[in-house]
Structure 1
């Protein structure tokens, strides 16, 4: 069957193809566009998936296709261009990007400039000066600075060794005054040990706390752990009305010994405390989130469905304890998420604060470790991270809890004023 040619709706040459029995119009769009497609190569760090770039025409050059693209994050700037030293980056070929419209059965091609994007670290930019950054001869040094900032230990050692081998002592002697001024300038901008300690205190993975609290109950802001507005989405009343323990499984996704005992204690009262019951249920949701595998957590929507609670609470938990992986995407185009060491520490600290608040600010590490399936050392470390002191079990505690508690010989107690382990002054990597 012969094909029919459709007139192109934009300027350019039109052609048709009938490979599937369906007429498709192909054209080239040379008209000016508000949004110009660009092909980019990133020489170093790849920006996050949700990053947006701005495109500018380079007016210093008479060529219409010279352009510059820019973007930035809190720590990094991305600057790219499709020319260098007044010449295009590539010669002899052009890149085209085609957009298929299934409703109109058209494919429109538009020329896309090829851009090479360089990465600039903001903290290094301020100390190096504009003239040094814009000098093409400083590109190797900029790459070395990027390697020192983000490279592995082996890469950093190699860069330092290479720089040591390139030192010219005659130049160093002539530039002693310049080097001294540079060192003095950088030293003046470096944070003090006290400032670093304060930053590390702010970065602790614990909920908001009051270091001057007089009682253990006043140390942590439980509104920061579970706000009243979010707690309203937890159906504690339905759980309180459930008389059969087997019905509790409909509302609580995990069955740890701690959670089961607290539910029985609260429901067993004449007038159950629904606020405490919501706190127990929220604790169960967090423990459920701990047990969700990495493959499920990669996709935000599937992970929210797996939490077995209201979508509002699941969204709060996911946004608080999952981190987006920059530069990656799922097959459907959505960002990839994962639990990083920092988010896992934040999650476990919130779990232990909730357990302490439900147990009169005292926990037995051996019982908690067995209940959550954690090593005893890791359990002790989390308890110390939230401010607990490990004390020997008293004779009354040993008698009430039996041989198991006596063998453990430790209990974790949260006391005011709270004291945390000394922060690492080197900071997190």
Structure 2
């Protein structure tokens, strides 16, 4: 049989072009769902496999079944197929949608369903393997397997890292016999350590501020007057000459330190205000002592060391017992030296004692801006020292201004306010 004769006997397929096919939009399928699309895993079911659709109970009760509520299930003799809800929703959200069409060769029509479909991603389960328990490897087994893989197939750098980890690994089982001895050594070493309360008391003692009462409920009792000014020095102060002065200028001339606006203003205000004689005398004594502290600060601040006679000479008019008290509390002496030196710690201590007295005169609300100007120091630095005394830097409200007799213009001025019980600022944590 020739090749030409064989080709002539072959059945020829009827050629159908796209122009011969008629597109037709099919009517919606009756029923709530209609045909569905599924995507098989690597294993594909035979065409005779029957699939069923299941809806959750809530969708059945509502009567409005959506394709997203369906679960597609199929089963053969060896394998079970079930739709994965998470993967199916991921395919739908990615925009994977199809149109289902049926081609009728007899009429050359292509009927397209009007509703787009998203595929259901199927997963398979082998029935013979369902009875085998699945157990995840432990962390130790995982590390051992990973180490074996690294030693077999890893690079030189990876193998060196594995050997370094093996060398640095601590054998816990070898430590079991010595844990008791270690614990005994820790307890013995910690026997001499301070408790939390003792550590707090020690920290409070080392503060560069006057002695304080943390449980006091009245600001007047937080820093007692004679813890700042000893009684011996308090009795040595005399303010009778202020009553004999005829003008503000004469009263300021009686002060050991005459270049403080805050001090001069308060001395003249005490003469004008109508308050009890006892209260007025007390405030004048405090102001006189503040003036002596400022004079002492000026006499010792810029020197590398001064003798007692040199300091007394610069503080003309201040009782000797007051000078001796200031020297003993706010200076230091080197070993084998007779000169007194003012260090940064003693200067800070002097200012905190001075500010505690300022709070008493100001009814525990002091204007830090004026004080900073008098001391020629930045306001932030002075505010920090007031905060170390437990003060809050804030603006006074209307009630507080009325209590202190301040005008409305003082509403814009920040003041250091001391409340009771006193609360000191917490140490700031360093950023990691």
Of 391-400 and 278-287, deviating more is 391-400
What is the TM-score normalised by the length of structure 2? 0.50
Shift of 1:353: 0.7
Paired with 2:291 and 2:229, the residues of 1 have a C-alpha distance of 13
- For 1:401 and 1:322, the matched residues in 2 are separated by 40
Instruction: Report the 3-state secondary structure (helix = DSSP H, G, I; strand = E; otherwise coil) of the residue aligned with 1:390.
Output: strand
| Gap runs ≥5 in structure 1 | 1-172
Alignment check: 8 A CA contact 2:395 2:411 kept: no
Match of 2:222 among 219, 223, 227: 219
Structure 1 equivalent of residue 285 of structure 2: 278
Partner residue in 1 for 2:380: 377
Q: 1:326-356: CA deviations, max 9, x gaps? A: 3x52xxxx2x321223222221111111111
User: Which of 287, 295, 302 is matched with 1:288 structurally?
Assistant: 295
Cα 1:322–1:268 change in 2 (3 A) is same
Aligned partner of 1:303 among 296, 308, 311:
311
For residue 232 of structure 1, report the CA deviation from its aligned partner.
2.2
Deviations 1:276-319 (A, max 9, x none): 21110000111112222342743233113322211111111111
Aligned to 2:324: 315
**Counterpart for residue 190 of structure 2:** 187
SS at match of 2:334: strand
Are 1:231 and 2:238 an aligned pair?
no
Contact 1:212 1:417 in 2 (8 A): yes
8 Å CA contact 2:327–2:340 kept in 1: the answer is no
Q: Whole-Å Cα distance in 2 between the matches of residues 406 and 275 of structure 1? A: 28
CA distance in 2, matches of 1:197, 1:341: 24
Between the two proteins, the alignment pairs up a number of residues equal to 244
8 A contact 1:205–1:342 mirrored in 2: yes
Hey, what does 1:158 align to over in structure 2?
Answer: none
Cα pair distance change 1:343/1:178, threshold 3 Å: farther
Which one has the largest radius of gyration? 2
Q: Does residue 205 of structure 2 align to residue 202 of structure 1?
A: yes
Give the secondary-structure state (helix, strand or coil) at the position aligned to 2:392. Answer: strand
Q: Deviations over 1:166-206 (max 9, x none)?
A: xxxxxxx9x99999876553332222344222200122222
Q: Contact between 1:200 and 1:424, CA under 8 Å: does it hold in 2? A: no
CA distance, structure 1, for counterparts of residue 345 and residue 187 of structure 2:
34
Alignment of 1:4-403 (within 5 A): 184-255=187-258, 256-269=260-273, 272=277, 273-292=280-299, 293-295=301-303, 297-308=305-316, 309-326=318-335, 328-329=336-337, 334=338, 336-394=339-397
Gaps of at least 5 residues in structure 2 are: 1-174
Contact 1:304 1:318 in 2 (8 A): no
Shift of 1:423: 6.2
Q: Aligned residue for 1:414?
A: 418
Superposed CA RMSD = 3.3
- The verdict on how the C-alpha distance between 1:177 and 1:213 changes in structure 2, with shifts beyond 3 A counting, is closer
Between the aligned partners of 2:305 and 2:245, the Cα distance in structure 1 is 31
Matched residue of 2:285: which SS? helix
Higher strand content, 1 or 2:
1
Structure ranking higher on relative contact order (CA contacts 8 Å, 6+ apart): 1
Distance in 1 (CA, whole Å) between partners of 2:273 and 2:179 is 79
| C-alpha spacing 1:418/1:220, structure 2 compared with 1 (3 Å) | same
